Structure 1
Amino acid sequence: MKKRYLVAGTLPMLLTAGTLAAAEKLYTYAFKRINYVPDASDAMQQYANDYYYHVDWVEHQQPAVWHLDTPDDQHLSALWLKHPNSNKAVIIGHGYKGTGITMANYAHMFYDMGFSVLLPDDRGHGQSDGTYISFGWLDRLDYLQWLQLIIKNLGQDCELLLFGTSMGGATVSLVSGESTLPKQVKAIVEDCGYTSLDDELTYLMKKLFHLPKKPLVPLASFINYRRLGFTISRVDVQAALRRNTRPLLVIHGQKDVYVPTWMGQENFKASAGPKALWLVPDAIHAESYWVDPVAYATHIRDFIAPYFSK
């Protein structure tokens, strides 16, 4: 009898301990920084030569290195490519576990359009501080500071664009909902960003691990609250876009199964300002540029043209 009661009493504790260990493992897997850029998928390897051409181009420009110290004592880093004949600039947000330099193809594209370019390393990435990745939530406040540094550098009459892919797309969308967004920001372009961190983690839990949302995602959210100060539900891109009044172009691959295409469609619906949606045929996640770089640049140029000086 005593043995049966002992087993009955111990089993919930063992299950709880095992669940907490699994949640910690999930959190470490998803949120903890790594000090390298993961290899591209097999599908994206076909673009490797073109990608490194753009990386070499950026490095040949000898970009300046900018630094930012945040109110919570994080030291952040970014590359700055100053265009000699323009007062326009773009901040380019990189993807999950990427860095600023991994966005070299977009930097080259926007520079050719006449923009100066800032390539931040977000928290938990590259040369910036941070033990954990905030998926755009803390980065959105950092981007507001980066914007002010650009304005200080170019002057009050500068014209600014926000652009990002994947996590970077979500980040610039989160920035769009901030009441202190400078008037110099004229438009936003987001490529394959998620609707919310909760949506994305729940989707990936099912797709990659065949597991339901509960209990691991709520427990990971609690861990994140203890370590970074916010719950997963706070990272709500759609809520930010409902407050956005700037022109927004949403780009998303029609074959994206990492951040599914419906998320781009929902982000488009949520935005309160002028907007356009381009679903790119046959493009998987973050592939829309590579499918047709000329068409990609043309779509962006045509969309932003009415909002920027010639």
Structure 2
Amino acid sequence: MALARRARRVVAIVVAALLALVVVGLGLAGNFLVDFALNPNAEVSMARSMREGGVGGLDYAEAPKFDEAYAAEAASWFEAEKRSVSHQASDGTLLLGWELDGANGDAYSDGHTWAVVCHGYIGEPADMAKYAYHFSQLGMSVLMPAARGHERNVDTDLIQMGWGDARDLLGWVDDIVARDPEARIILFGVSMGGAEVMMASGMSGLSENVSLIVEDCGYTSVWDEFVLQLDNVFGLPSFPILNVADAACLLRAGYTFEAASAVESLRSASVPMLFIHGDEDAFVPFSMLDECYDACASEQKEKLVVSGAGHGLAASTDPDLYWSTVDAFVAEHL
């Protein structure tokens, strides 16, 4: 009997030790994934993998671009005309961005029309120069916030994947309205910026001065996108690593991947919205377009599919279709 009891205790100790190792291992894996995806200063990171071509679906170099001359002109304009602006976020963080004036004598040069242009994951406002330039040429003033964990805000926080940035976006908009109560504001974003403006669309506190929202290739939720990329980059299933990383993200960044959902926010949206996606997008799957569009509660909504466009390349693949659609939507709802 004594020998049997001793054997059972040994087995229990071994099982407990193995379970502890599993828990510790999962915790380490979860924290690694948070650092990999959300820590801009991590030695091993998604940013580095993207730069080194280790992430599928980002075919920027190979894809034909039919607006390169325009993009180069826009980049020069951005560098010459940008001026620094700041926003004190609700949590006390000082965030930085760029502001640019609109051209005179154009359709929206009344001084009250603004485009707020939001960049993508591992990007920066300069990446959005051609979009900002287009709105500026229409006469709009342009605000280009840098997201947390990016550009001059790189040390403010872990990357928020659009979720915390959407709350910050509401504050940036309020800053504009405080300066100009008559402001008419467009929210525009690509990729993570697209998710950001969708997430902002249904948040309480969104100013009535926001007249319309345009999103380009934003994802349904951070959870959905990370499920895809966990398989894409590491060849791993989401369970249980992503579940543990979700808990680590809540502790370290203040949000969960599941809560950071554009789809859920869109269910409360009321602002006119235009959804854009390329049908060859493999990084944020094309199927996410209809999921977001169908979830949107706005009575006035449209979608544009750009044939042959990969991720973030809709404007480069068919500039005429892209901008004629955006401009018509703006003209109808601004």
Fold shared, TM-score > 0.5 on shorter chain: yes
Question: Residues 279 and 307 of structure 2 are in contact (CA less than 8 Å); yes or no, is this contact kept in structure 1?
Answer: yes
SS at 2:292's partner residue?
Answer: helix
Match of 1:229 among 247, 254, 261: 254
2:229 corresponds to: 204
Q: Which runs of 5+ in 2 are unaligned?
A: 1-6
Aligned position for 2:100: 81
Aligned length: 306
AA at the equivalent of 1:57: W
1:254 to 264, 269, 279: 279
Aligned partner of 2:141 in structure 1 is: 116
Deviations 1:267-310 (A, max 9, x none): 011111111111111111111011022221111011121112xx
Partner of 2:91: 72
* Contact persistence 1:89–1:116 (CA under 8 A): yes
Match of 1:63 in 2: 82
The answer to which structure, 1 or 2, has the higher relative contact order (CA under 8 A, 6+ apart) is: 2
Partner Cα distance (1:53, 1:146) in 2: 27
Alignment-mate amino acid for residue 225 of structure 1: L
Alignment-derived partner of residue 19 in structure 1: 26
Letter in 2 for 1:81: L
1:75 offset after TM fit, Å?
1.4
1:71, distance to aligned residue in structure 2 (A): 2.5
Shift of 1:139: 1.1
Contact 2:116–2:142 (8 Å) recurs in 1: yes
TM-score, structure 1 normalization: 0.91
* CA spacing shift, 1:304–1:10, aligned 2, 3 Å: same
Q: What does 1:149-228 align with in structure 2 at a 5 Å threshold?
A: 149-153=175-179, 155-228=180-253
SS of 2:159's partner is coil
Task: Give the Cα–Cα distance (whole angstroms) in 2 for the partners of residues 56 and 100 of structure 1.
Answer: 13
Secondary structure, counterpart of 1:195 in structure 2: coil
Measured in 1, the distance between the counterparts of 2:94 and 2:234 equals 35
Deviation digits for residues 161-208 of structure 1 (CA, Å, limit 9, x no counterpart): 000011100100111102221111111000000111111111222233
Q: Distance in 1 between matches of 2:196 and 2:14?
A: 48
- Structure 1: how far apart are the matches of 2:61 and 2:84? 29
CA distance in 2, matches of 1:267, 1:82: 32
Please state if 1:265 is matched with 2:290: yes
| Contact 1:163 1:169 (8 Å CA) reproduced | yes
Partner of 2:39: 32
The residue matched to 1:234 in structure 2 has which SS?
coil
How much does 1:212 deviate?
A: 1.6
Q: Check if 1:140 corresponds to 2:166.
A: yes
- The residue type equivalent to 1:65 in the other structure is S
Alignment partners' CA distance in 2, 1:40 and 1:122: 23
Structure 2: which amino acid aligns with 1:31? Answer: L
TM-score scaled by length of structure 2: 0.85
**Secondary structure at 2:249's aligned position in 1?**
helix
> 1:92 maps to what in 2?
117
Which residue identity is paired with 1:195? T
Cα distance in 1 for partners of 2:145, 2:41 equals 17
Contact 1:90/1:118 (<8 A) preserved: yes
- Residues in 2 aligned to 1:124 and 1:296: alpha-carbon distance in whole angstroms: 30
CA RMSD of aligned residues (A): 2.2
Deviation at 1:53, TM superposition (A): 3.7
- Cα deviation, residue 136, structure 1: 1.4
